[in-house]
Chains A and B, each alone.
Chain A
Amino acid sequence: MLSSFFFLAAAEDGADAGKAIALALGIGLGSLGAGIGIGNIFGSMIQAVARQPELRGELTGIQWLGFALTEAVVFYGLIGGLLAYVLI
């Protein structure tokens, strides 16, 4: 069961290798964008709290909302890549 998560290791011919590279590149570039976005959110949060510490409670909810919305972008890439890998 476990090794099912190692499709990459199972790539034998050229087409499989190409799909593996595409999957890895897609997820990698996707997480690049999401990483920048998440960094932005937490950076802005720190600035906001430093300026007005009394707003911390209200800002936390918005911060996590933004975090989850940004983070989800990676997973759209992941699901798209997995679909392409498994189905095509």
Chain B
Amino acid sequence: MKRLAATLFALALVLPASAFAQDAAEETDFDPAHEWEFKTWGPELKIGPIDMSINKAVAYLMLGTIVSIVVGLVFMRVRIGRGPTRRQAVGETIYEVAQVQVAEQGLPTKAIGRWFPYVATLMIFIWVINMLGFIPLPLSDERWEIGGIRVPTLAIFAATSTLSVTLALALMTFVFTHVEGIRENGFVRYFKSWIPDVPKAMLPLIVPLEILGQFMRLISLSIRLYANMLAGHMLILTFIGLIFVLENVFLAVIAVPAATAFYLFEVVIVVSIQAYIFAALSAIYIGSAIEPEH
């Protein structure tokens, strides 16, 4: 059974390659900037200036939301029996990472009750979206024909490799940080805590830097996740793509193992680390707003 699953998985990994080959033959003219554009699926839904239509990233986000809800329900709602089941063990591991490594590292004890759900949700949600990005799914913009039916090609794409998605997540943390800081310390005391303890003559130099630093957090938080996922996908596709661009099948001897190595590196390390980092930094930022050092 296990062997069968492994074979099927390997076959599934091979499938996108054929799709790419077909695609490369069709396409003659090409502009790299088009890679960052999304085609709208179905009707355009515009509410005023806000574009609500569905595209690839939105579809992945919806799928990610469903999967993370299912993951939460399956692993957290375990009936406690006589001995711990496997499901319970996995659920407890997830909970422990969220509790000990993420929440307790950044948040002060009094705020854990209120902000633990947020950081734990962030962790699971980002992990699920990142992970979906490395499973070939038929959700791409390109189509190819199997038996007369045009189906989307299997492709790997992570919703978190779009800047809008990560910026929205980072913006949420940014807003929560300041709302919580003002609510906990009062308006004046909170913004006073931004001014560090330095000689008066230095203040005009330091204060703008501090304020800039608050906004740099927003940028660094969003760009880190975005660029990590984008670079991961680009590395894998670059190595596979070498075969098609240089039109030499024998390059596969080098390209496929290299792509597999990067794929494994991304799946095993980067996906989890990025989810953990995003949640941990959110916890640290919110925690530092609740209890300023000065």
Choose one: A2, A65, A79, A86; the contact of B241 (CB below 8 Å).
A2
B177 CB within 8 Å of chain A: no
Stretch binding the partner chain, chosen from B31-39, B67-75, B116-124, B198-206:
B31-39
A to B contact number (C-beta, < 8 Å): 75
Residues in A whose Cβ lies below 8 Å from that of B237: 2, 5
Stretch binding the partner chain, chosen from B48-56, B126-134, B227-235:
B227-235
Number of interface residues, chain B, beta carbon within 8 A: 34
A79 pairs with B227, CB closer than 8 A: yes
Residues in A whose Cβ lies below 8 Å from that of B24: 1-3
List A residues 1-27 near B (Cβ within 8 Å): 1-7, 9-10
Residues in B whose Cβ lies below 8 Å from that of A61: 101, 105, 280
What band does the interface of chain A fall in when counting residues whose beta carbon is under 8 Å from B? 20 to 34
Residues in A whose Cβ lies below 8 Å from that of B228: 71-72, 75
Q: Is the interface of A mostly helix, strand, loop or mixed?
A: helix
Choose one: B36, B101, B227, B241; the contact of A72 (CB below 8 Å).
B227
B18 CB within 8 Å of chain A: no
Residues in A whose Cβ lies below 8 Å from that of B245: 2-3, 6, 9
A4 pairs with B34, CB closer than 8 A: yes
A69 to B35, CA, bound (A): 27
- B34 and chain A: residue at smallest CB distance: A4
- A71 and chain B: residue at smallest CB distance: B228
B273 CB within 8 Å of chain A: yes
Given A1-B27, A3-B245: A75 and B273 interface contact (C-beta under 8 Å): no
B34 pairs with A2, CB closer than 8 A: no
A2 to B244, CA, bound (A): 8
Give min CB distance, A19 to chain B, whole Å: 12
Give min CB distance, B284 to chain A, whole Å: 9
A8 to B52, CA, bound (A): 35
List A residues 29-53 near B (Cβ within 8 Å): none
Given A61-B105, A68-B273, A68-B277: A5 and B227 interface contact (C-beta under 8 Å): no
Residues in A whose Cβ lies below 8 Å from that of B105: 61
Task: Please name 5 pairs of A and B residues whose Cβ atoms are closer than 8 Å in the assembled complex, sorted by A.
Answer: A5-B234, A68-B274, A69-B277, A76-B223, A78-B231
Known contacts A1-B20, A76-B220; 8 additional CB pairs below 8 A are: A2-B24, A3-B241, A64-B277, A68-B224, A68-B274, A72-B220, A79-B227, A86-B33
Please give the residue numbers on chain B whose beta carbons come within 8 Å of chain A beta carbons, in ascending order: 20, 23-24, 27, 30-36, 101, 105, 142, 220, 223-224, 226-228, 231, 234, 237-238, 240-241, 244-245, 273-274, 276-277, 280-281
